[in-house]
Copies of this chain bind each other. A is one copy, B any other.
Amino acid sequence: MVSVTIWNEHRHERERDDVAEVYPDGIHAVIAEFLDEEGHDVRTTTLDEGPEHGLTRDVINDTDVLLWWGHMAHDEVSDEVVDRVQEAILAGMGFVPLHSAHYSKPFKRLMGTSCSLKWREVGERERLWVVEPGHPVAKGLPESFELDREEMYGERFDIPQPDALVFSSWFEGGEVFRSGCAYRRGAGRIFYFRPGHETYPTYYDEMVQQVIKNAVEWAAPEGVVDETFGNVDPIEDI
């Protein structure tokens, strides 16, 4: 059992009918449902739940893995909360930024790069290929799977080279994208997963759900070594 917190911006779903139709209770509700079925301890929070967006110190302290979906309001996330999230990840909390969270404050903070990319919203076909068949996040998947209609993200994706590239995407319109990227930062594990535009039923897709379930299990911390920093005495005679 993993203590999971799903953070969702939850604006598109409340402001646009076409999005509300796909995700009437918000993207977080759909993700929460299939993670809950896995037996995890699942909590959801959203941007507008107070000045800390539901990510209070207590919530973060009680979180093993944090999922993040944001898009139109990245800037409204408080820097204090971003500091807290970054610190928690470096101390071992898992982090699973989804889709447009490539541009979220915490992900950009952890990557140190612009995290820019190409995009196009015409509802084209995406095919995700498994590049590392032995990686835990690929468990239970076929060697490729398709999403019939998705937003396109294309290279150059300005990120540090992932510690492991697990998925690579083909798009109908002619682009490719590193769509499943595993990182270790501090004592924490990060898995960026590309699909999930708000106007498509991506999070109802069984393969996508399998990836997110795997990512949660993989990113959960296990017995982080207690490290000390700062001034130390010699161990050996000098």
Q: Which residues of B contact A51 (CB under 8 A)?
A: none
A132 within 8 A of B: yes
Q: How far is the CA of A134 from the CA of B160 in the complex (A)?
A: 12
Interface majority SS (helix, strand, loop, mixed), chain A: loop
Q: Taking the nearest CB of chain B, how far is it from the CB of A207, in angstroms?
A: 12
Number of identical protomers: 4
B187→A133 contact, CB < 8 A: yes
Chain A residues bordering chain B, tally (CB within 8 A): 76
Q: Which residues of B contact A163 (CB under 8 A)?
A: 161, 163-164
Please provide the chain A residues from 106 to 123 with a CB less than 8 Å away from any CB of chain B in the complex.
109-114, 116-120, 122
Q: How far is the CA of A161 from the CA of B172 in the complex (A)?
A: 26
Q: Taking the nearest CB of chain B, how far is it from the CB of A65, in angstroms?
A: 13
A14 within 8 A of B: no
Nearest residue (CB) in B for A132 is: B184
Q: Which residues of B contact A169 (CB under 8 A)?
A: 176
A124→B223 contact, CB < 8 A: no
Q: How far is the CA of A113 from the CA of B168 in the complex (A)?
A: 20
Q: Taking the nearest CB of chain B, how far is it from the CB of A85, in angstroms?
A: 12
A68 within 8 A of B: no
B160→A235 contact, CB < 8 A: no
Contact with B along A137-174 (1 / 0, CB 8 A): 01111110000000010111110110111001111111
10 tightest A-B contacts by CB?
A: A134-B187, A173-B234, A174-B235, A139-B223, A133-B225, A116-B229, A174-B236, A156-B227, A110-B112, A112-B112
